[in-house]
Chain A
Amino acid sequence: MTAEARKARFEAIFRPHFDTLYAAARRLTLSPVDAEDLLQDVALKAFEKLDALERMEFQRAWLLKVMYNRFIDEHRSSKRSPVDQAATGVDSDEPDDYQRSDWLPEEMLDREIRITRILMAMKRLDSESAALVALRDIEGLTIAELEEMTGSPAGTIKSKLHRSRARLGRLLSSDTILKPELKAVGGAE
């Protein structure tokens, strides 16, 4: 198969899910550039698994699961230099939630910090739990869809979801997430 043919197959698989994946990546990151990095990770994985992906019944769920796994396990950004980004010619304007004129800067900062805390807490879940709870509570997959995707019965899925939410809630209550629990032993200027 030619490279062009493989590219066309990849586009046919990836394009229908692109907006969903972009939205998911934006929710999980703090800037459009980081979102693009995460999205690129998923695209590379999808391209690598193209043959298997074409045979899958739950392509969207699989792609989202890859994204959440990347987010937890491997997505550490910093893979692309600003020069590379400029070379793409892609306009990466800030999203609407950074442009709302009725927000005071202090409110924006508070919101950013709150979102950062949530994302950091999520990264402390194991990847399977994070993916499951995110597919349900962020992406809106039904319990039936999760049953089919995972092969687990509804009761098991519900229990796992509850445990993951409780773990996330406890992490957010904990002093170890973004509170100034600094181990500072000195400072100098």
Chain B
Amino acid sequence: MSCDFDKGRLRSLARGSLVGVERDSVLAHVDRCEDCRAALQGARALAELAARNTGTPPVGLFEALVERTVSQPARVPRDNRFWLGTGVGAIAASLLAVALFFGWTDGHTPTDSVPAFAVSLEEPRQMNLAFETDRALEGARITILLSGNVEIDGYGPRRELSWTENLEAGVNRLSLPVIANGFDGGQIVVRLEHPQSEQVFVVQLPLES
């Protein structure tokens, strides 16, 4: 339920432009109004995005972009080379492979543990993720997000990959060649979206000791 409070003041507070009594009065309202408290949190997140240092466009990017646009207007197919499809038998073939197994079914119990997969600076290691679904899901969207000092081998600085897949009932496998590019390791987030379901999986990627 929305209240009658002046919502513009929430945005001003999020952007740091309220001080003193005015700031205190907004904070006092937010303390007792859940709707405005949520809106303030959203406004603060947007303010943080707005404040991101974006740098300047690389020299030559405009020209390269125009050339690609006028010469290749057709859409380029998405990459799904990591998807191994539905597996019935053994998950991993490589000695370096690790299988992390997730269930995408209704009514399962979340666990508190975050899986970890040790990465190496010297060579990519194949991280196999297995997703189990109790029914076929057509057009599921798979998104990979990387943070920290890790890369998907062959994709350089790219931090996000995504494509659409049809998941079959049973175990579906995803194989990612992961390599470290620094000493702090990182984290990988795999998000699976479907109109009827959505799951986010997080795997820590520490550097091997």
Contacts and interface: CB of A to CB of B under 8 A. Distances in A.
Interface of A: 3, 6-7, 10-11, 14-15, 18-19, 22-23, 26-34, 36, 39-40, 43-44, 46-48, 76-82, 85, 88-97, 105-106, 109, 112-116, 118-121, 133-134, 137-140, 158-159, 161-170, 172-173, 176-189
A167 B35 CA distance: 9
Contacts of B37: 169
Contacts of B68: 40, 43, 88
Contacts of B186: 109
Interface in B144-166: 145-149, 154-164
27 contacts: A3-B70, A6-B70, A10-B66, A10-B69, A22-B56, A23-B54, A78-B158, A79-B79, A88-B64, A96-B53, A96-B55, A105-B184, A118-B46, A137-B11, A139-B50, A164-B42, A165-B38, A166-B36, A182-B110, A182-B111, A182-B201, A182-B202, A183-B104, A184-B102, A185-B101, A185-B102, A187-B100
Interface of B: 2, 7-8, 10-11, 35-43, 45-50, 52-62, 64-66, 68-70, 73, 75-79, 98-105, 108, 110-115, 132, 141, 143, 145-149, 154-164, 182, 184, 186-187, 189, 191, 198-202
